[in-house]
Every structure is written in C-alpha cells, then in structure tokens.
Amino acid sequence: MNLLETVNKPQLKTKVADVRSGDTVRVHQTIREGNKSRVQVFEGVVIRRQRLAGVGASITVRKISSGIGVEKTWFLHSPNVVKVEVMRRSKVRRALLSYMRARRGKSARLAELEFDREAANAADARTASQVAADDAEQKEAEKPQSDDALNQPDTESIDKEVAAEEKAATADDKSPVEDEKTAPAEEAEAGNDRVENDTKN
C-alpha cells in the first residue's frame, strides 16, 4: 500500500450504491448557504462513471431542464453526497453514453431492465474511521463489568430504604410524645375537680 492509499483509505465510504451507466438515479447533495444547509435532489441518467475503485470514483448525470441539457458530476465518496438512489436500470453497451447529448424525446429512451433495487441501493455513508470508532464504542458497551463494579452496593435503593425507615420511626414517635404532653394536663384537671369537691363538702 503506497502513501496515497494510506491517506485516502480512512476517507472512503464503507459502501456506495451500485451505479452503472444508463441508470436513472437521484443524487441527494448537501447545499450550504451561509450558516444554513439543505439537501438538493438531482435526477437524471448516468452517462459516465469513472475510477470506481478509489477515492476518485465519480458519476456524471444528465437531464433535460426546460429544454436545456444539464450535466453534473459528483464524487461518490464526497461527504456532500448524502446518498445516491438507483431508480431504473437500462440496457446499454457503452461506459460513456455521449450519444445521449444529441438525442431528445423518444430517441433518448433506453430499454429498461429488471434489477434488485434494494441490493443496488444498499449503501453505508460512514467512512472507515467512523466505522472503527463505532465498533470501539460498541465493544466498550458490551465489555463485562469488573468484579469491583459488580460488588458495589446499590446506594440509591439503600438511601430509599433508610428514608422510609426514618419516616416510619418519626411517625411512631409522634403518638407517645403527644400522649406525654396531654397526660399532665388531664391530671391537673382531675386534681382541680377534687379540690373543688373538697371545698364544697
């Protein structure tokens, strides 16, 4: 592996859509305007694909807009390309469909082929470095806890039990205190009644 591949490999997306010449695709591209960003969709026919093996993999998409032919080229591994959806697949025998530039209307139609749309659109926009970071996080989450961590007491439940016991204890203590406070008053009233009875007699 040379130096260029070493630098580029972490930047490659894990998997891109299976795009071929003649496919009708929808390219979702991030457009940044000042502090705002939005996703713009461009739908057309792929007339060229290049260097699919490396970071320079690109596709050229053509469509007719208001009677004018418009072509745009994207790098598949660009972070600005959110996703590429393959809508239809057509039968072509060339890698570069330059003849499509001279065709209009019915003559620009291509014979449609059946294909596995779900498999063609299966993609993972994460880069190799992001996948490695996600795997590290997952391994850390699945890592079994140490014996010290497992033997730690559940302080939250203990605190709840202590609070409940204290509450119950204070509830039990209230009734005797109230009885002690009321008892002398009752004795005093009983003594006053006796004194009054003795004086009358």
pLDDT for the residue 17? 87
Structure tokens at 173: 């203590």
pLDDT of res. 91 = 92
For residue 170, the model assigns a pLDDT of 76
pLDDT given at position 25: 95
Q: Is 89 helix (H, G, I), strand (E, B) or coil?
A: strand
Tell me what pLDDT residue 1 has.
59
pLDDT at site 56? 86
Q: What is the pLDDT of residue 155?
A: 62
Q: Are strands 58-65 and 68-75 parallel, antiparallel or unpaired?
A: antiparallel
Strands (E), the chain: 13-15, 24-33, 36-50, 58-65, 68-75, 81-90, 112-113, 124-127
Residues of the chain under the 50 pLDDT cut: 177-178
CA 136 to CA 102: how far, in whole Å?
Answer: 52
CA distance 70 to 72: 7
